[in-house]
Amino acid sequence: MNKLFILMLFGSLLAIPAAAQTGQQSGAGPANPLSTWLRNAYMGNRNTMARSAEKMPEENYGMRPGTQQEVRTFAQQVGHVADYNFLWCSQAKGEKNPNAGNNLEKLNTKAEFLKALNDAFAYCDGVYSSLTDASGLEMVDITQESGRQTRSLRMALLILNFAHNNEIYGNMVTYMRMKDIVPTPSEARPQRQQPR
């Protein structure tokens, strides 16, 4: 992770208790402004990613920019997002990763990748929809891949998940542009008719 992201994340987390307390005391604004914002941001991004994965033709799922084998194919980017959505959302939920032991980057067909991505998003949807500002401040136990035990704020894990999704979506856009495919957010929108 880069230093700027860490500073932004830290700054956001410092603001959570003050914002939650201010909103509760004044009675102004939504009851859960931070979790509502994060849920809406996640849902917008997850929908864009799912539509982009659907839009990319299957014959382009195996493409990678350049010749370096360490660089993920488009398909592997989709599988990577699914893997980490299962990981971080299960940690935020406080349960065992339902995908533990599987590497979704190694699937074979577009249909398999789309199913994995949609299953991972469906799993995360429940975590984000039940999030409140108060539950976001709760500490959760995390077992890292190395086996090391740590703790984190639930909301920090979900911000990390959202930021990671955005990062991978940026990669997916590059792949789509290389194949002259317009990413879904850039598609022309129908013009609204002006009242006469």
Q: Say which CATH number the domain at 77 has.
A: 1.20.120.450
pTM check: above 0.85:
no
Q: Please tell me the predicted confidence (pLDDT) of residue 23.
A: 47
Q: Is 11 contained in some domain?
A: no
Q: Is 24 contained in some domain?
A: no
Q: What is the pLDDT of residues 142-160, one digit of tens each?
A: 887 788 889 999 999 999 9
Domain count, the chain: 1
Q: Is 194 contained in some domain?
A: no
What span, in angstroms and rounded, lies between the C-alpha atoms of 69 and 67? 6
Q: Please tell me the predicted confidence (pLDDT) of residue 82.
A: 98
Q: Is 189 contained in some domain?
A: no
What span, in angstroms and rounded, lies between the C-alpha atoms of 176 and 105? 18
Q: Is 167 contained in some domain?
A: yes
Q: Is 96 contained in some domain?
A: yes
Q: Is 192 contained in some domain?
A: no
Residue 45 sits in which domain range?
A: 36-63+71-181
Residue 38 in contact with residue 155, Cβ under 8 Å? yes
Residue 183 in contact with residue 176, Cβ under 8 Å? yes
Q: Does pLDDT of 168 surpass 80?
A: yes
Q: Is 47 contained in some domain?
A: yes
